[in-house]
Amino acid sequence: MEDLVESILDYIRSDYTDYAIMLNGEWGSGKTHFWNNKIRKKIESMQLNGKRYTTIYMSLYGISNLEEISKKIFIETTQLMDKNLRRFMDAHGQTTIPEYAKTGLDMANFFGVTQNGDKIDYADFFSTEDKVLCFDDLERANVDVIDILGYINNFVEHDHIKTIIICNEKELSTKLKSSNLEMKTFIATYLLDRQGELNKADKPMVEKIQDKIEHVFDKANDYERIKEKLIGETFEYAPKFDYIINGILMRYENDPELIRFYRENTKLIISTFERSGTRNLRILKHALNDFKKIFDMVNKSYPNTSHRVMQTMLIFTIAISFEIKAGKVTKSKFMNIKDNEEYKSILVSSRVLMDNRQFYIKEFDSTYYYNFKAEYRFFKFIEYYIRTRIFDMKIFKDDMETIRNTVDTENLPGYKRLLTEEYWKISDDDFDEVIEDVIQDIKEGNLELIDIVKIYAYLSYFSRKNLIKYDIKTLKSIVFNGMNIASLKSEYCENVEEELSKIAIEEFSEDMEDILKHFNNLNSQLLDKKQKDLAEDVFKCIPMKMEQFYEKFDKNCMQLPIFKYYDPYQLFQRISCASNEDIVLIKEKLIDRVERYQKQIEPEMKNIKLLKQILDDYLKDKDTTIKIVMLKEFSKDLGYILNKYKLSFLPKKEENQEIKDELNTI
């Protein structure tokens, strides 16, 4: 860095120059910080030929016309000649003037307001020998870069003012090529068509258009030409990040616990930063600042959290910040991962499935946790905080409680170790004990059905490799009995294929088919139980809690054949007791439903036909009332619904008699 500083100072010391110099570096790498803390101070401390140099710094970020640059230069120079303002800045240690203050001073000058009657010293105002201009963020201006460089060339070529341009040439090149791309494409296509080149098959159309764009609108060449004329030397800014990062950490000197943690883990911070593949120090600053809140919250609420977990949190905070803020990945890659267990399951299964999301997570993990072993590597509360800027206390507590209960793998249940770790990471000393714990949990039916299926895939594999003492026949017997017991308290599994994809065994054995068949039967029974419970919950709202009925029906039952799971006799009793208005509303809802989801609700049609038969038998010989008319209309519309299916399962005569007998008891 000192060599770079001296090279720039040599340019300033030169008696005569008719060129500018450029400082090139990536976004966030600290170029502006380097100017403010290394270059500017040394320039302003120089004295040549009896004069001290004055630096005038301007960021071109957002500049939309050349007049704005002129205004900025004017404000900077006139303010610097105000002796009272200079005294005030020196007394208060100010090195730059805030933008809002510049605006106020500019307006004061506009309205003729002066301080202590100071007048402009025109000799000083016209002097250019002691000025150094610095233009920053060239690539972020909203003015054509060629125009800006032409404007700057006036100062350099005609006034011989020392000028430094700070930019990111990589982004500048991208900007030159991509500006007004739609217009360029349209004109290039038009020209190719006029020249009869558009329909020729000599080269791909995209290549033809690109070549024409470059030929007609070659801004890159224009830039190179004016750069060659204006820029005498280009210096690459490649800082020593170890030194800079240590400087960044100094801002936390007033927080003794945090700075001690940072100092102890400086190598970890630097290595994580380097693995990000960027040179963006700005994101690192933000990440370390975000970690301060995480560090404080963990120490306050969970003071006994292990040092290893805190180190992993630091790595994850920096890593997730770079992945999201550097635009390397869409936020959804992490958004749908709910916890560390799912994160580890994805890692285990990523070797098996060709899935982009899984490949990305695997790459993320191997990049940032390379040679760093930690069982807990995904922190949902940190991911959510970095992504949304909201520190969610519920997610934080959920994560920390899980960490406290499971971060020590010795206390982690054996079945979870099989499902969330690569099994080969289990030590030989622990392996037999883990297997026995798993077998016992299966025998007692302590696991979810789908977890037993996944575990069987591992056990079968271990048996074939002679890693365990159980043969396939014994294992199948244990698993079948365990699944029967587990089915009494398991939940229905909706995403079976997704769950099975998490198994880190590349090929299933033939005996797996029997396990899957038994699982599907039990899972189907669990679905029936789930639907029956739902039907009971929904239909019990008729007739006393109709608002709840409509809400639940609309939310859960529009595409579900819910009538299949509820007794038609009970449903008839409830509907017949409902108000006339509700009978109409229910009828209209059923018609709307069959129009939209006819195929999905077909399995319930047998019960719908039975409900219609019950209604018709009840309505025979009844005196006409509004309620009776409404029920007849209801029955008629049930017939309309049934006709859509042209079903043939009419109740038999004996079933009709049973219906009549049942109705006589109502």
The CATH number assigned to the domain holding 110 equals 3.40.50
Are 212 and 191 in contact by the 8 Å Cβ rule? The answer is yes
Would you state the pLDDT for residue 73?
A: 73
Would you state the pLDDT for residue 586?
A: 94
Q: What is the DSSP pairing of strand 131-136 with strand 54-59? A: parallel
Q: Which two tokens stand for residue 397?
A: 């507590």
77 and 195 fall within a common domain: no
Q: Which two tokens stand for residue 605?
A: 């049609």
Read off the amino acid at residue 109: N
Alpha helices in 217-306 (DSSP H): 219-230, 241-249, 256-264, 266-275, 281-301
Residues 6+ apart with CB under 8 A from 361: 333, 337, 343, 346, 347, 350
210 and 288 fall within a common domain: no
417 occurs within a structural domain: no
Say if residue 547 is exposed, middle or buried (CB neighbours under 10 Å; 0-12, 13-18, 19+).
exposed
Would you state the pLDDT for residue 126?
A: 47
Angle (nearest 5°) at CA 397 between 394 and 400: 150
143 occurs within a structural domain: yes
418 occurs within a structural domain: no
229 occurs within a structural domain: no
Closest CA to 368 of 397, 343, 393, 399: 343
Q: How many CB atoms lie within 10 A of CB 57?
A: 19
149 and 210 fall within a common domain: no
Orientation angle between helical segments 512-539 and 449-464, nearest 10 degrees: 170
Residue 508 and residue 512: Cα distance in Å, rounded? 6
Are 601 and 561 in contact by the 8 Å Cβ rule? The answer is yes
Are 501 and 353 in contact by the 8 Å Cβ rule? The answer is yes
Q: How far is CA 562 from CA 552, 559, 602, 652, in A?
A: 12, 9, 10, 24
DSSP 623: P
288 and 436 fall within a common domain: no
248 and 302 fall within a common domain: yes
Q: Which of 468, 500, 528 is the last residue of a domain?
A: 528
Q: Which of 123, 148, 176 is the last residue of a domain?
A: 176
325 and 271 fall within a common domain: yes
325 and 210 fall within a common domain: no
**Upper half-sphere CA count for residue 402 (Cβ side, 13 Å):** 18
504 and 636 fall within a common domain: no
Would you state the pLDDT for residue 452?
A: 92
Q: Which residues of 390-410 are buried (b: 16+ CB within 10 A; e: fewer)?
A: eeeeebbeebbebbeebbebe
Residues 6+ apart with CB under 8 A from 448: 486, 490, 491, 493
Residue 123 and residue 112: Cα distance in Å, rounded? 21
391 and 474 fall within a common domain: no
41 occurs within a structural domain: yes
592 occurs within a structural domain: yes
SS3 586: helix
Domain that holds residue 208: 178-219
Q: Which of 407, 436, 467 is the last residue of a domain?
A: 407
Q: What is the pTM of this model?
A: 0.46
| Averages of pLDDT over each 10 residues, the chain, 666 residues | 82 84 80 84 82 84 82 64 61 57 52 48 53 87 84 83 87 63 66 74 73 60 74 80 75 91 91 85 90 95 87 95 76 83 79 58 89 87 93 94 70 71 76 90 92 90 91 92 92 84 71 90 92 93 94 92 93 93 93 92 93 93 91 94 70 53 52
DSSP 267: H
321 and 299 fall within a common domain: yes
Q: Quote the number of domains for the chain.
A: 5
Residue 182 and residue 475: Cα distance in Å, rounded? 65
226 occurs within a structural domain: no
Closest CA to 305 of 366, 386, 396: 396
488 and 546 fall within a common domain: no
Q: What is the DSSP pairing of strand 47-48 with strand 51-52? A: antiparallel
Residue 160 and residue 384: Cα distance in Å, rounded? 53
Distance of CA 90 to the CA centre of its chain: 46
413 occurs within a structural domain: no
Residue 174 and residue 65: Cα distance in Å, rounded? 21
Are 401 and 432 in contact by the 8 Å Cβ rule? The answer is no
Dihedral through CA 298, CA 299, CA 304, CA 306, nearest 10? Answer: 60
308 and 339 fall within a common domain: yes
